[in-house]
Structure 1
């Protein structure tokens, strides 16, 4: 069986679409369709059911993907690492959200880099949960950190840690609200305060409002910047209130640069998942990084 056909098949299976697989492979959509049809003729069985949007694997298609994908990934790893016996380093490709990956995952993993015979080189990529999981499924990454649990059997997710969210603002905004006012009035006490967020949809503020106040925020974003570390910097500078992961603003809270505006009985949480392509934990460098992050994650709650 032609390995090129298997590679195209696995890419389609992971992408869920001939068009998306073609883009990932650098081929035309008709070329991908032709290769899949050739493979189906060789096997004598259909591998995908064509849908209005994308394709769905048949039972035979799922079985073939789960058998073939780990071996194809291993071959890619060999070609990327090379056959030079003098080179003991493999490369781990990690993907995840920029702030959490930079502040927590990367510092933890640097202990495993180096030339100790078990170490690896490390390459990081930042993106949204959707982009990260798509890239992992397509084989661009080895290990992903995501706030979304993937569906299906092709990706395997393990809970890594929970992230507590806290409502903060510079001290002068806290004094303007006054002690006890927020607890008495709830969300209306914050209606006239500016908001700093990572997106126009106010994902962190909206999630906090829903969990704590059972309402939706009335304000729009005064400052919108797509990085939580920049959100914290703006909040410290007095640009407005913000909802941030507690780990990210612990030092700023301790210094008094920002103040926690509320201490709810049940703080909003977000779960991070450590995700791999099913079967790739057989590769030692991926397994070692996976285990190391899970151990570190036990102290991140």
Structure 2
């Protein structure tokens, strides 16, 4: 069996860049750290560090070993955190990660219904991008992840369960008195209008860029930029500019007559919203119930 203690010493020396700093961090003497790392190298006939001046640097093999070692001790931290949560929250703790759309417009209602049923269960909701939401679930840092499936580069995880919730279409929206409200126009005409969008790197903004690239149309000028969808909607409702937003977000405003759709020719972009969890058989009953609540709400809306 591999010497995990020696690996932990190697990891801390690699992180801090010196035996001295690792010694302070771990409260273990420098000679003890050096001796155990040397014994580990000797046992497996490898060299992990080499001296350059007064510094220790990783050898190529040491660099290669660092990444899986990092994963190993991050997993250890996660296990410790799970045990701590178990003692801190005897009635349970539900950790949900989701993209901005999910945590702003979907999860709040589900979480409210859940807390009415499970008032003693702690609920922690984290907003991250879609890729990070999936990674947090994969790394057991969350129990449920909700995100846009098309924003994920790789989700072929056999131990995860995916449930499609919504087919989310992106829409161009304007104020009801805008000249293009409820009209069909070309993308070339649409992009001449001042746009209100989220920050660079947001999923919706990436979708808009993809649409323009696909039709070889110049990118619109972003006249106003916000970090939140609500702010964008309110700015468009107030009568300035246009935006490209999720239909899930825009629908209530359209139904109330506060926004209008612009039908842009040959632009049909969808992004399925999925709920992802670990295999149902290993989930606590309250996590399964949260998933059931999300499913029930979705079915009631259809």
Q: Check whether the contact 1:165–1:267 (CA below 8 A) recurs between aligned residues.
A: yes
Q: Using a 3 Å threshold, how does the CA distance of structure 1 residues 164 and 240 change in structure 2: closer, same or farther?
A: same
Cα deviation, residue 109, structure 1? 3.0
1:204 matched residue in structure 2: 204
Number of residue pairs matched?
Answer: 269
1:12 matched residue in structure 2: none
Q: Check whether the contact 1:132–1:146 (CA below 8 A) recurs between aligned residues.
A: yes
- The alignment's TM-score, normalised by the length of structure 1, stands at 0.64
2:283 matched residue in structure 1: 283
Q: Using a 3 Å threshold, how does the CA distance of structure 1 residues 156 and 291 change in structure 2: closer, same or farther?
A: same
Instruction: Report the Cα distance in structure 1 between the residues aligned to 2:266 and 2:189, rounded to whole angstroms.
Output: 19
Cα deviation, residue 120, structure 1? 2.1
Cα deviation, residue 166, structure 1? 1.2
1:124 matched residue in structure 2: 125
- The alignment's TM-score, normalised by the length of structure 2, stands at 0.64
Cα deviation, residue 210, structure 1? 4.2
Cα deviation, residue 268, structure 1? 1.5
1:156 corresponds to which of 160, 179, 183: 160
Q: Using a 3 Å threshold, how does the CA distance of structure 1 residues 115 and 171 change in structure 2: closer, same or farther?
A: closer
Instruction: Report the Cα distance in structure 2 between the residues aligned to 1:123 and 1:110, rounded to whole angstroms.
Output: 12
**Corresponding residue SS for 1:252:** helix
Cα deviation, residue 79, structure 1? 2.2
Instruction: Report the Cα distance in structure 2 between the residues aligned to 1:157 and 1:232, rounded to whole angstroms.
Output: 33
Structure 2 unaligned residues grouped into runs of 5+: 9-13, 27-32, 47-59
2:247 matched residue in structure 1: 246
CA displacement 1:202-245 (0-9 Å, x = unmatched): 75355257459734443221111011111111111122111111
Cα deviation, residue 154, structure 1? 8.5
Q: Check whether the contact 1:95–1:144 (CA below 8 A) recurs between aligned residues.
A: yes
Structure 1 unaligned residues grouped into runs of 5+: 9-17
Q: Using a 3 Å threshold, how does the CA distance of structure 1 residues 51 and 251 change in structure 2: closer, same or farther?
A: farther
- Mean Cα deviation higher: 200-209 or 155-164: 200-209
Instruction: Report the Cα distance in structure 1 between the residues aligned to 2:247 and 2:157, rounded to whole angstroms.
Output: 33
- Mean Cα deviation higher: 137-146 or 243-252: 137-146
Instruction: Report the Cα distance in structure 2 between the residues aligned to 1:191 and 1:167, rounded to whole angstroms.
Output: 10
Cα deviation, residue 91, structure 1? 1.3
